[in-house]
Amino acid sequence: MGKLRTIAGENQLLALLPRAERAALEAAATTVRPPIGEMLFAPRARISRIYFPVDGVYSIVVKTRDRIVIEVATVGREGMLGTPRLLGVDHYDATVMCQIPGTLRAVDAARFMKLVGRSPKATAIFHRYLQTHVNFVAQSAVCNRAHRIERRCARWLLLTHDRADGDEFYLTHEFLAQMLGVRRASVSVVANALQDAGYISYRRGRVRIRDRRRLERFVCDCYAAIRDNYEELMLGAAPSRRGARR
């Protein structure tokens, strides 16, 4: 099945833009490197900047009234942070935070909207990305409801591996428990099972993907659905066909 197709060291959305529009956005951008756990957007806070990840992974999470935190989407170099502005909304109703540190290209939101508004081609690209993002959130909701935690954890690990440079990344049990919306004890059991199966190794807060091919065979169909939808809409690739897994 393979990893999500992106360009290492570049933001995929910027790479897809026509040359003039890309040059204009790059000229307006500054580079930021938030540390792990830093909040990029708080709920209801005004979106003043649009971020284009070059590397790293960034989580969109929702907290319930009883303080349960659940991840609804992740974004890496295939996408952008600040999508509500594309819909005329100036805030998130969720929290956006740094999951794996990396580099972001930041553009003033008002300037971004002005530049994009002058280019029908750029507008079309960002609208198509917005649709893939909506599909991602919807598929995550299905996965969280329908699939066992082992398959959900595998999906999360593969999506994170897609956005990480290399096979190893930092991850604590506490953080993964928040992302999956389960107790820490449940994550420990699942992580140990995936490690015993030879899919991953885990030590001192660092995960290494040891056998991605077998992990892809183990994961539920939600991973392929998310990956293939992005590649079909953004890159024009035909989706892969896989047998159903539960």
Burial class (CB in 10 A: 0-12, 13-18, 19+), 43: middle
What structural domains does the chain harbor? 12-118 (2.60.120.10), 144-235 (1.10.10.10)
The pairing of strands 57-63 and 200-203 is: unpaired
So what's the pLDDT on residue 239?
A: 53
The angle at the Cα of 58, spanning 53 to 63, to the nearest 5 degrees, equals 150
Is the pLDDT reported for residue 178 higher than 90? no
Helix (H) or strand (E) holding 70: strand 69-75
Mean pLDDT, to the nearest integer, of 74-78? 94
For residue 30 the two structure tokens come to 């500054």
pLDDT of 9 reads: 85
Terminal Cα distance for the chain, rounded: 17
| pLDDT at residue 113 is higher than 80 | yes
State how beta strands 206-209 and 168-170 pair: antiparallel
Beta-bridge mates of residue 51: 81, 106
Q: Which two tokens stand for residue 234?
A: 């953004």
| pLDDT attached to residue 186 | 81
Indicate whether 212 pLDDT > 90.
yes
In this predicted structure, what is the pLDDT of residue 237? 56
Confidence of residue 189 (pLDDT cuts 50, 70, 90): confident
